[in-house]
Amino acid sequence: MRNYCGAPRHGLKNLASIVCLLLMVVAPQWAYAACSEFAGLATINEISEKDGFIEIKLLSSSVEPSEYSSWQLQFCSTDGKNNPTISCSGALSLTLADRGDSPWLIMGGNALGNTDINLAGMDARLSDAAGNTIDYVQVGNTVSGSQDTSCSSSPDELPFDTYLPLVGGESGKYARRLPDGTGSWSMSSGASDGKDTEGDTNEGAIPGPDISVESATVFQGQTASFKVTLNAIAGRDLSIGYQTRDSSATAGTDYSARSGTVAIPAGQDQAIISVPTLQSGSLEERQFFLELTSAQDSSGDRYGVFRSQIGVGTILPAPVADWHLDNGPWNGSAGEVLDASGNGLHGQASGPPNFSTQGPARPGSPGTCGYARFDSANNDYIEIGDQPALDLSGPLTISAWINPASFPRSGIRTIVSKDENFEFHINSSREIYWWWRTDNGRTFSFTTNGANLTENRWYHVAVVYEIGRQAIYIDGVESGSASWSGNLMTNNDPFHIGQDQFFGGRYFDGLIDEVTVFSAAFDDKGIEQLYLRARPCGFNQLDRFEVSVPATASVCEGAEVVIRALDQSGDLVTGYEGAVSLVTSSSRGNWSGSSPRLTDRPQGALAPSPDTDNDGTVSYMFANADKGTVSLLLENASADELTVVVEDLADGQQGRSGPVQFLENAFVIEANDTNGLDIVAERNHDFSVRAVRRDQTTGECGLVTEYDGLIDLKAWLSRSGDDPGGAPPELQGGAGAVVPGNSRPSTDNLTLAFSGGTTSFSLATSDVGQYRLNLLDDTSGAVVDAGGDPLPVSGVGGQWTIRPDRFSLTVTGNPSANNASGDVFRATGDAFELVLSALGAAGNTLVSYGQEGSPQGAELTHNLLQPAGGETGTLSGTSQLPGSTFSAGVATISDLSWNEVGILELVSSNPAYLGVAPGVSGVSGSVGRFVPDRFDVTVLSGELDPFCDSGAPFLYAGQPTGWFIAPELLIEAKGPGTYTTKNYTEGGFMKLTPSSVLRSSPTSDNSAIDSTGVNYPVTSSLQAGLVSVGSPGVVSYTFSTADEITYQKSTESRVAPFAPDLTISVDAVQDSDNVSAAAMPVLVNPAAPLELRYGVWSMDNVYGPEDVASLSMPFRAEFWNGTRLVTNQDDSCSSWSTASISDPEVHHSLISDTGTLGSGVGSPLTLQPNGTQGTDMIVWDVPLWLEDDSDGDGALDDPVGLATFGVYRGHDRVIYWQER
């Protein structure tokens, strides 16, 4: 930006001031547009006239360095007292700011240019890359040269104070906001309160940790959760005030306003502030702010410093169309494929595709629920007729879950198509291919790079279009991008799912779900929310109850009744929390939930409790901790055969048990193990058997003591519907061991040693399972009837669930690094393989795991181990493992990847195997080390340092120079897509050093030529740069201040002045882990707002009488202007000393002196004659850059001056002259 109002370099100052003032009246100095989207997220925070800086504070961590690096600061201030003018800085890039104390950015020194800060009258404006205003402040009312009239200073547009009252006129004053960042402006002098607060809070020394608030992105109707964190554990109870504030979102329409305080107790380091959002129906993204307003300890004292005090709440738009594909099966009827957006864009299935709920993309509820199964051989597809709402010229976001059954051998298979408007497919290379046409008729397309899709695996695919940005995301990670322009062509074609406008061979083969269309372009965080999107599943809601009872039970002990809440697919509704009634068909019996015999004790409420009315009826309220299943004990003193009916009290869903026969004589089987009924495979479990009967005369229950000694019994298993049918257990006790079968044996197969009516045995298992044990004595005659005839005695145990002991997680090829020096495992985003095994207590694989009636799988999560306190990152790939993933108890997942740097730990869990606690879990131990995928390099080219800028800036040929602004490389450690790996700069994981950057020094100017016609030669000495952390995941490589660049000087260098044009090539960036920057070389072209001049030090020849008091010898700096040597009037910087002069002093004495040139001219040398006549040759030893080939011998010489004494006037026949 040109400096309209700066002082002119060559006179006409008053005229320039008048013109400048007129410009301010009749035309804006810069091109303005409106208030920026960043307004309220950063402020001009402090202005110091004393130390010459303007401080900017970033109020939100949502503002990335790549964004604020393109911002600009400009300010205007009064200049002079008697005849004041207004001087303006022009647009100053924030790349020049000192970011060492972020979030406080300091613009000072050279970054402010030549315009001075003057708090007696000035204004300043912060603007974004488009020139839109972020913040503005006016000091007094005399200067408004930076103001943007299209962005008012009202709180609705610029929410924080924009006016600083003028105070006094003393020098050394400074101004600042109080409270820091968001408060009102105040002014004071440096003498009154000591110092400025450059790079720190304006509120002085505040104890306590740094406080930050994160941003949140949600869909409409969800709760935005803002995480407030401390950089250290709170040493005191901390109370943080907050309030919401409108941006593009409006309280009451888009979200519910909130204000108050949130507490972080001593010893904690975080809290959550929740803000509900509303279903506005807006098709545009909207934002509101959550502002932290105060931080105090329990005494009301200020405690903690705000590093980030505004969280941005982003509310994603409502969809144009949203086909959940949950309402199948379909039969081809019009409008049967329902659109959940509310816009009525219902579709029709052709074929039709099959409907399924098994193995969805996100299992469970919330989840993705049902989906459509497309068969390419059957030409299955779904069509939605053309509607204006679907004719989108941009922007747009379209997404779908896909699970390909096969890929085309050639060509493509379609996911979604509206022909020219948009269509994307899978291709034979296992990539996503996107094609479109713009409204000018041009066609465009691109594919993902390295997606490597596989069969029979779910992928979330999203495409985003806006002018200048197109991106394809897979599983929430950008996997391909382009940057074309133009509006999309719209048409009258239908919207197709699973085929491309009847184009042969393009019918999809596999599963598609959750097809969603938005008329907005989502960013990375929006795509992440779209990828994580889930909802309660209608078919994962209660459909019926399964009620399991033993075939027989004792009237003395009762029967275990197991109740399971199921959906229409027969899957357990793990989140069921309804109230049910339980009624026996005999209307007799009492219920309880506290018996140690129960395999799955209730976590909810039983009523009445205790139940003593013997009416067989009770109610039970399921708790979430029940996970949809519960065991209750039914005690019945009557020898009834009965059934149990369970009914949901709200909606009436029912379940009925089979019959249970209560017997006067029975075996009671119960656990007497220290682990209760937590039965783990490969861990023996002890049980007891009691023979119990009720006395016919007294009604008392007691042991059948006739059971004494070795008794032969029949033993078998009754497996549940969820039992996987694996290896049966072994019953160890009495005389040897037996493996029971699944049906009643014809002969006795188990012998137990009874003593006084009791015995025991051990259950030895080698596999998972769920079953009951049946015992029958119909041969011993221990119990007889009144006639002495033998009576059979039987018993059925409770339903036993045999669970795995743990999961084993083995990552193939994992070096198990435990610190930042450990071996490298993978680059971020690269796939790795996990082998997950269900193990018993002895460590053997349980081969039936995953084969249950309700197949049991596992959930995979991860924890960050190193660096401590770093970014957890995202684990991509298969994280929900359905039971079908397991084969012989082992699941192999080959598509896992992590997007961060460091060391992680994988955790697998099944919180309730077949609905029974405790859960099963396993950890992998250290997995890693992970390193970045690559480096992306951004060049800040810097600026060459002029030798002198007292006038027009210049540098002499042959004179070494360095940097006015040192070039900087911003080296971003990248993960998959555009993700920056923030952990790279933490905990020793940064492996970039100064030697990691290889550069080639320039040997000549790019444009200028010397007198021989070749490019002007240059020599340079580049020292190792300075490596520092610019921001999380971004390394700053700053060129050394010791660098020297010299435009060589020789006799061929005498050319007209020119502006240097240099290129330094950065040839490679590679750290010690061999992570490198791919797009190499990158070029550094430092700015050079100066002239390179061929300089000459010139001395005049002088003469005079030998008896004069003194003789003066003038000298000056000159440069070649392309035609001749002229005085370098811009040189007021070159210093000189007579100590560098070689002088014979035969006829004079040289007076010692030193000085600096003024406008190119030095003070004359003073020569005092000694009374003799003659000529002395004076030679001045000057630097190379001021030498010249004065004698034409092809070599540069020091300048020479002749002093002749004894001459009053020129020789009659000789005219003295000085050759140039």
Residue 1027 pLDDT > 80: yes
pLDDT, tens digit (0-9, with 9 covering 90-100), for 1035-1080: 999 999 999 999 999 999 999 999 999 999 999 999 999 999 988 9
97 lies in some domain: yes
Looking at the chain, the whole-number percentage of residues with pLDDT higher than 90 is 76
Token pair 């036993």 in the structure block, residue: 800
239 lies in some domain: yes
Under 8 Å between Cβ of 1156 and 1171: no
- Of 894, 914, 931, the domain-final residue: 931
- Same domain? For 927 and 973 the reply is no
- CATH number of the domain residue 311 falls in: 2.60.40.2030
Average pLDDT over residues 814-838: 97
- pLDDT tier at 195, thresholds 50, 70, 90: low
- Per the structure block, which two tokens stand in for 191? 């003498």
Q: Cα separation of 479 and 900, whole Å?
A: 16
pLDDT value for 539: 64
**Domain limits for position 615:** 541-662
Question: In terms of pLDDT, which residue wins out, 638 or 432?
Answer: 432
- Same domain? For 341 and 286 the reply is no
- Torsion of Cα atoms, 741 then 744 then 745 then 749, to 10°: 70
765 lies in some domain: no
- CATH number of the domain residue 859 falls in: 2.60.40.10
- Same domain? For 1029 and 1104 the reply is no
- Same domain? For 250 and 353 the reply is no
- pLDDT tier at 1218, thresholds 50, 70, 90: very low
pLDDT value for 1215: 45
Average pLDDT over residues 690-696: 89
- Same domain? For 527 and 604 the reply is no
Average pLDDT over residues 576-604: 92
- pLDDT tier at 8, thresholds 50, 70, 90: very low
- pLDDT tier at 167, thresholds 50, 70, 90: low
The contacts of residue 139 (CB under 8 Å, 6+ apart) are 47, 119, 120, 121, 122, 123, 164, 166, 175, 187
Instruction: Tell me the backbone φ, ψ of residue 369, rounded to 5 degrees.
Output: 65, -130
As a whole number of angstroms, the longest Cα–Cα distance in the chain is 172
Instruction: Tell me the backbone φ, ψ of residue 1103, rounded to 5 degrees.
Output: -150, 160
- Same domain? For 225 and 337 the reply is no
Residue 191 pLDDT > 60: no
Q: Beta-strand (E) ranges in 319-370? A: 321-323, 348-350, 354-356
- DSSP per residue over 30-61, as a string? S----B-TTTTSEEEEEEETTTTEEEEEE--T
704 lies in some domain: no
Residue 4 pLDDT > 70: no
7 lies in some domain: no
pLDDT, tens digit (0-9, with 9 covering 90-100), for 743-800: 999 999 999 999 999 999 999 999 999 999 999 999 999 998 878 888 999 999 989 9
- Same domain? For 268 and 390 the reply is no
900 lies in some domain: yes
Q: Cα separation of 130 and 36, whole Å?
A: 8
Residue 21 pLDDT > 70: no
751 lies in some domain: no
- Torsion of Cα atoms, 182 then 183 then 187 then 193, to 10°: -100
Least confident of 473-477, 662-666, 830-834, 1025-1029: 662-666
- Same domain? For 899 and 963 the reply is no
pLDDT, tens digit (0-9, with 9 covering 90-100), for 522-531: 999 999 999 9
Shortest CA distance to 671 belongs to which of 798, 842, 802, 801? 798
Question: In terms of pLDDT, which residue wins out, 1142 or 979?
Answer: 1142
Question: In terms of pLDDT, which residue wins out, 944 or 365?
Answer: 944
Residue 31 pLDDT > 50: no
pLDDT value for 168: 53
C-alpha dihedral sign at 908, 976, 322, 407:
negative
Token pair 């971003």 in the structure block, residue: 972
- pLDDT tier at 1220, thresholds 50, 70, 90: very low
Instruction: Tell me the backbone φ, ψ of residue 141, rounded to 5 degrees.
Output: -135, 20
Q: Residue 668's CB: how many other CB atoms inside 10 A?
A: 21
Which helix or strand (DSSP H or E) is residue 24 part of? helix 13-26
- CATH number of the domain residue 1180 falls in: 2.60.40
User: Taking all residues of the chain, what is their mean pLDDT, rounded to a whole number?
Assistant: 91
- Same domain? For 448 and 588 the reply is no
Average pLDDT over residues 1116-1140: 97
- CA neighbours within 13 Å on the CB side: how many for 271? 19
Q: Beta-strand (E) ranges in 932-979? A: 934-940, 943-944, 954-956, 963-965, 968-974
pLDDT value for 141: 79
Residue 550 pLDDT > 80: yes
Looking at the chain, the whole-number percentage of residues with pLDDT higher than 70 is 94
pLDDT value for 22: 31
Instruction: Specify the amino acid at residue 192.
Output: S
Three-class DSSP labels, 488-536: ECCCCCCEEECCCCCCCCCCCCEEEEEEEEECCCCCHHHHHHHHHCCEC
- Same domain? For 957 and 1080 the reply is yes
- Torsion of Cα atoms, 945 then 949 then 953 then 958, to 10°: -60
Average pLDDT over residues 914-941: 94
C-alpha dihedral sign at 581, 583, 587, 589:
negative
pLDDT value for 82: 66
Q: Residue 721's CB: how many other CB atoms inside 10 A?
A: 12
743 lies in some domain: no
- pLDDT tier at 448, thresholds 50, 70, 90: very high
Which helix or strand (DSSP H or E) is residue 1102 part of? strand 1102-1104
pLDDT value for 359: 82
Q: What is the domain count for the chain? A: 7
Average pLDDT over residues 812-830: 96
- Same domain? For 76 and 163 the reply is yes
pLDDT value for 81: 65
Helices (H) and strands (E) in the chain, counts: 4, 95
pLDDT value for 354: 94
Shortest CA distance to 372 belongs to which of 319, 421, 426, 325? 325
Q: Cα separation of 291 and 310, whole Å?
A: 4
- Of 1031, 1060, 1090, the domain-final residue: 1090
pLDDT value for 27: 32
- pLDDT tier at 30, thresholds 50, 70, 90: very low
- Same domain? For 327 and 369 the reply is yes
- Of 518, 539, 560, the domain-final residue: 539
